[in-house]
Amino acid sequence: MSDDVFIETPLGIAIISGDKEGVCRVSVGQESPDRPSKEIPSHLKEAASQLLEYFNGQRTTFDLKLNPSGTDFQKKVWKELLSIPFGKTTTYLDMAKRLGDPKCIRAAASANGKNPLWIIIPCHRVIGSDGSLTGYAGGLWRKKWLLDHENPVKQQSLF
């Protein structure tokens, strides 16, 4: 049986679910209470801490024991998502090609949409071939926020 913990993020209250086998789910905007958890189970403290560091601009990668549920193909897609560097994006077509079959683009996009580990497995870094922000379970406004957070426009100095 997994435990749930709720943390406050700039994008809403996030739920982190997991047990001693690892984090199995992180999501936002669904079935969340109005306020964060007061106590965090010991096996979820590191996940909560790392997510808060990410939102505070202090973390670009995650080092957590993960235990998502999914099909073999979904897990293959999620593993591929983990290779997209912080601040970078890829397209659904490029991802399908890296998976070995450009024709699997729809299946890869579907697996991307079923990613149970919001932010930790960075599905928000996949965009349309034309550069558009397409499909995001957490809402396109959250996808835009995450991409802007990871790649803020740098103001050049005039002097």
List the catalytic residues: 123
Residues of the chain predicted below pLDDT 50: none
For residue 129, the model assigns a pLDDT of 87
The single residue listed with the structure tokens 């979904």 is 74
For residue 134, the model assigns a pLDDT of 84
pTM for this prediction: 0.88
For residue 35, the model assigns a pLDDT of 74
CA 124 from centre of chain: 6
Strands (E), 20-78: 22-28
For residue 147, the model assigns a pLDDT of 94
For residue 153, the model assigns a pLDDT of 62
For residue 18, the model assigns a pLDDT of 96
For residue 125, the model assigns a pLDDT of 95
For residue 31, the model assigns a pLDDT of 64
- 120 and 60 Cβ atoms separated by less than 8 Å: no
Distance CA 122, CA 84 (A): 7
**156 secondary structure, DSSP code:** P
For residue 23, the model assigns a pLDDT of 97
145 CB-side CA count, 13 A = 13
DSSP string, 132-148: -----TT-HHHHHHHHH
Distance CA 89, CA 87 (A): 7
